[in-house]
């Protein structure tokens, strides 16, 4: 009984060992197979991940290249537009420079034409007043006869018959109740008639060593009267300017002839015709303006 049990026990123990060994081998086989499959799975997963990364890199690279191309195209379009605008602006600037040169040329031509027109207008004005004389210092008397006064002056100057006169009249005074008598304008019939009268006045001054006076025309007064050429506004300004230079001893003499102003240099040169105050600029200096009407009248009444 005990031997039989021992035999069964040994047999059972042997079977258990065999079974254990089989189980162990089976577990080892399963483990080896699982390890092999895990390696295969890891390799496939890594390959899948690499493929995904490669796909993402390709996609990102493609998008980058497309974005770069779009950006470069946009920049190129803007650069082309800027170049076109710069070209148009450069062209416009050149056109404006050309137009500015033309405008300057036209402006210069207009200035020259304006100066020529002013000179012609002044010449025409001079021609219009070439026969006129201005008579200063004659008192205004109600009901006066200016022709009679003129004839008395001519007789005193030994001009018989008197030079022919087209008209003689007083200028309307600029201010009411003025203390200065209005001047008398004498329009001679011809320049020759005016020259004859002025020559007679010059002879009188040389022979008598005195100026014309009111006594020569019937007034009981030794006050001076002045008879000189009428000047245009332009020539009157030139005459005043030249007279200031004469007072400063920058010119030797100033006189008028047929309404034009002539200046004789201080160095004794020939007298020359002055067309504008600019011609006297080299002789000018800073001098005060003459505001006194009496001084202005004396300047206009001086021949030399």
> pLDDT for 251-303, tens place per residue?
888 888 878 889 988 887 888 888 888 888 766 544 334 333 334 443 444 33
> 14 is written with which tokens?
């042997």
Domain encompassing residue 279: 232-304
Task: Say yes or no: 133 and 223 in one domain.
Answer: yes
Task: Say yes or no: 226 and 237 in one domain.
Answer: no
Task: Say yes or no: 189 and 261 in one domain.
Answer: no
User: Is residue 304 scored above 50 in pLDDT?
Assistant: no
Percent of residues, the chain, with pLDDT higher than 70: 87
Task: Say yes or no: 238 and 222 in one domain.
Answer: no
Structural domains in the chain (count): 3
Most confident of 34-43, 50-59, 160-169: 160-169
Q: What is the pLDDT of residue 55?
A: 83
User: Is residue 209 scored above 50 in pLDDT?
Assistant: yes
Last residue of a domain, one of 178, 198, 230: 230
Q: Is residue 278 included in any domain, yes or no?
A: yes
Q: Is residue 113 included in any domain, yes or no?
A: no
The structure's pTM equals: 0.51
Q: What is the pLDDT of residue 46?
A: 78
> 113 is written with which tokens?
């034409």
Q: Is residue 226 included in any domain, yes or no?
A: yes
Q: Is residue 123 included in any domain, yes or no?
A: no
Last residue of a domain, one of 93, 118, 138: 93
Q: Is residue 193 included in any domain, yes or no?
A: yes
Burial of 300 (0-12, 13-18, 19+ CB in 10 A): buried
Predicted confidence band of residue 8 (pLDDT cuts 50, 70, 90): low
| Cβ–Cβ under 8 Å, residues 184 and 135 | yes
Q: What is the pLDDT of residue 156?
A: 92
Task: Say yes or no: 145 and 89 in one domain.
Answer: no
Task: Say yes or no: 240 and 299 in one domain.
Answer: yes
Task: Say yes or no: 8 and 68 in one domain.
Answer: yes
Which domain CATH number covers 139? 3.30.70.1820
Q: Is residue 100 included in any domain, yes or no?
A: no
Q: Is residue 124 included in any domain, yes or no?
A: no
3-state secondary structure (DSSP) of residue 262: strand
Q: What is the pLDDT of residue 59?
A: 86
Predicted confidence band of residue 7 (pLDDT cuts 50, 70, 90): low
Task: Say yes or no: 199 and 285 in one domain.
Answer: no
Q: What is the pLDDT of residue 153?
A: 93
> 237 is written with which tokens?
């300004």
Last residue of a domain, one of 230, 245, 275: 230
Q: What is the pLDDT of residue 290?
A: 34
Between CA 150 and CA 161, with CA 156 as vertex, the angle to 5 degrees is: 65
Task: Say yes or no: 243 and 208 in one domain.
Answer: no
Mean pLDDT, the chain, whole residue set: 82
Task: Say yes or no: 47 and 66 in one domain.
Answer: yes
Q: Give the pLDDT mean for 105-125.
A: 84
pLDDT tens-digit readout, 162-187: 999 999 999 887 767 667 788 999 99
Task: Say yes or no: 217 and 243 in one domain.
Answer: no
Q: What is the pLDDT of residue 157?
A: 92
Give the other-Cβ count within 10 Å of 200's Cβ: 17
DSSP letter at 209? S
Task: Say yes or no: 166 and 191 in one domain.
Answer: yes
Q: Is residue 117 included in any domain, yes or no?
A: no
């Amino acid at each position: 009984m005990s031997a039989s049990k021992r035999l069964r026990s040994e047999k059972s123990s042997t079977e258990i060992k065999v079974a254990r060994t089989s189980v162990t081998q089976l577990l080892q086989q399963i483990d080896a197979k699982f390890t092999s499959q895990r390696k295969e799975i890891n390799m496939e997963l890594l390959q899948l991940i690499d493929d995904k990364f490669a796909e993402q890199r390709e996609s990102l690279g493609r998008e980058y290249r497309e974005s770069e191309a779009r950006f470069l195209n946009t920049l190129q379009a803007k650069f082309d537009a800027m170049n076109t605008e710069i070209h148009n602006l450069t062209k416009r600037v050149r056109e404006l420079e050309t137009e500015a040169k033309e405008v300057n040329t036209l402006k210069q031509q207009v200035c020259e034409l304006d100066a020529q027109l002013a000179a012609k207008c002044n010449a025409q004005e001079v021609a219009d007043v070439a026969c006129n004389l201005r008579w200063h210092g004659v008192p205004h008397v109600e009901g006066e006869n200016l022709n009679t006064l003129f004839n008395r002056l001519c007789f005193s100057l030994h001009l018989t018959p008197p030079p022919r006169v087209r008209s003689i009249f007083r200028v309307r005074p600029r201010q009411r109740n003025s203390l200065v008598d209005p001047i008398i304008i004498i329009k001679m019939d011809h320049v020759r008639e005016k020259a004859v009268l002025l020559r007679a006045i010059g002879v009188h001054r040389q022979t008598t060593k005195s100026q014309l006076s009111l006594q020569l025309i019937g007034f009981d007064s030794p006050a001076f009267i002045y008879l000189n050429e009428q000047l245009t506004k332009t020539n009157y300004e030139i005459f005043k300017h030249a007279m200031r230079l004469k007072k400063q001893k920058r010119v030797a003499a100033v006189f008028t002839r047929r309404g034009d102003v002539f200046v004789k240099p201080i160095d004794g040169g020939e007298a020359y015709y002055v067309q504008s105050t600019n011609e006297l600029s080299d002789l000018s200096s800073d001098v005060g303006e003459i505001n006194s009407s009496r001084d202005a009248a004396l300047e206009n009444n001086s021949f030399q």
